[in-house]
Chains A and B, each alone.
Chain A
Amino acid sequence: MSRAKILALQILVAAIVLLVWHICSTYQFFGRYLLDPFFFSTPVDVAARVFKWFYERTIWWHLAVTLTEALLAFAIGSLAGVGIGFWFARKPVIAAVFDPYVKMINALPRVVLAPIFTLWLGLGIWSKVALGVTLVFFIVFFNVYQGVKEVSPAVLANGRMLGMSERQLLRHVYWPSALSWMFSSLHTSVGFAVVGAVVGEYLGAAAGLGYLIQQAEGVFDVAGVFAGMFVLGVFVVLIDALVSLVERRLLVWQPVAAETGH
């Protein structure tokens, strides 16, 4: 199917959902709303709220805070994940010793860590960054670890026979292999960085999209909650598109997965 057709269908889906929502929340049938506007708001109210945020420019500050937190969480989590993943993969004894602890921490629902991070790091951005880091780190860590472990033995032997020293093997074989695994999980890790930031804000903050949603919820302002969710959704889609762009540049050497839409 052509891209234009797909885009048209995508817009159609949104239009139908909005239309149904609008009809059910604006018009009464047999004396009652199918979707009570107190609980479901209306598309018009939500759109008006979003417009107001952008018109009054209050939203930019919250977006900037969330974006900063997500970027910091992604950068720190990735750096730590690459470093420690590499280190563990090259030192099997260390990996064996830490294995149960890594699994234990990874199994922990991150939400329970949020209060601790707030206590340690305060209500500012760093407690949210920390939450994002705990999410991003494990994704990158496991991928890099796997990437180093699963270097093709033939490629490795070839590197040796071509005269590579242990250091050159790291640079020309292990490192690119590990990074390719990390990049292949880029969408997930960037997504989780945003999740960490928003959840952290939701649980206690003074700014950010999560804070905005939480504030609206606190006063039963459903239009505000939906408007916050909408802005967050668009924000994530834009970031994801950016990641795809970066990915295409970084992974030029990989075969493209089968094209969709034959």
Chain B
Amino acid sequence: MPGRSYSSSTGYRYGGQGTEKAVNSNWVNYELRQYNPLLGRFMSYDPYHQFQSPYLAMANNPVSFVDPSGGLAVGGVTGSPQNLKEFYSIDALAESGYSSLWDLIWNTQGIMGMQGLGAGGGGSHAHLRKGTFSKLGKEMVILEELSKATGMSIEEVRKELDEFVNGTGIEIVDAYAEVLEHRVEGELIDRTVNIFVNGSFQSSYSEEFEFKLEGGAYVNPEDFLNDPNMRPGLLAQQRRQKQNEEVLDYIQYGLEGVGLVPVVGIFADGANALIYTARGDYVNAAFSTGSMVPGLGYGANAAKLGLAAAPLFVKFVDKAADGGRAFYSGAGTGERAIAAGFETIGQTRAGKNLQNLIESKNIPWSEAELMWQRLSTTWARGVPDGSTVNVFLNNPRKGAIWFKTELPILLEKGVNIIYK
């Protein structure tokens, strides 16, 4: 229209949330950081660490979230648990076009970012990040996953989990949520590596590589690793991985203790298998699901869960070496091992759990010994091949766990044994 046109050598610089666009880069100046609308990412590290990705903007959902300062995304669903429950009903899932809750989570923003999901709901790729989901959301994911894996109804799974929690006092729901999230983290890391190696854009799961590919500047790993602008992201990822390992240790040893218990151990074993899978530890994953192989006495549901977990075993990576681990057998040897500064099986979370369980349930020694023997099997199998362990013995009887289980496993693994 004549007289109504507008032109400028620098273009119109104000838009979106009233922010100013930088003259040369098209990046947008928020108060704390610059935002690249082409990538949908902030270009510097998140000062408040709101999300696991330090570059993620508007919670990956600019429709539902705003970030006036460039430091904190606000908005999204803040409804009551009841609303969320309704939101996650199976009918709603079916109507939305998602085959499962997991599918929905994977393809959207998580609970905080999901709002007004209707028929054929949105499906933008996004990140499943720790801290993104409420406890209820986690629980729903768990129930859905286990329901799919076992063929049980959601209600049946919930009942089993409730019984488990009541029986042990362990926050199994939290544990499962961690497991599931870490499984996804593992996939994300794998995808990141694949994208990096292949050098071509394959998915949007890794923001670091989105940046690389959109910028087009990085063609090999060395360039990426040497770029100071990329290092914060890389270091953050390494830090996350370390934290993940610690969390996994905590959960894993905790679950192994309760996983030994028939009936209530069904789900614990399943969780453990997933943790091992996330860690790529095939052998221990197989062990954890060993009690869930069809017909192994824990019932058909457990068997189904075990089978569901089986295809996830994709690679074998030794667990981290544990140089402080010691074995003992015979009167007074446990005290000697601890006094010498070694960690014994009884000091692990699994050991403590088992001890508490045996005491609280008044399990006779004839039965308890089998439980300890099984835990010892895991304990011995966790020793890295070819490493060195310390053993404290005091004239153990011939049928001692040391002779029956620990020694043969260590011998098979080529472990050097130092007798104390």
A-B interaction: no
The interface of chain A, by Cβ under 8 A from chain B, is: none
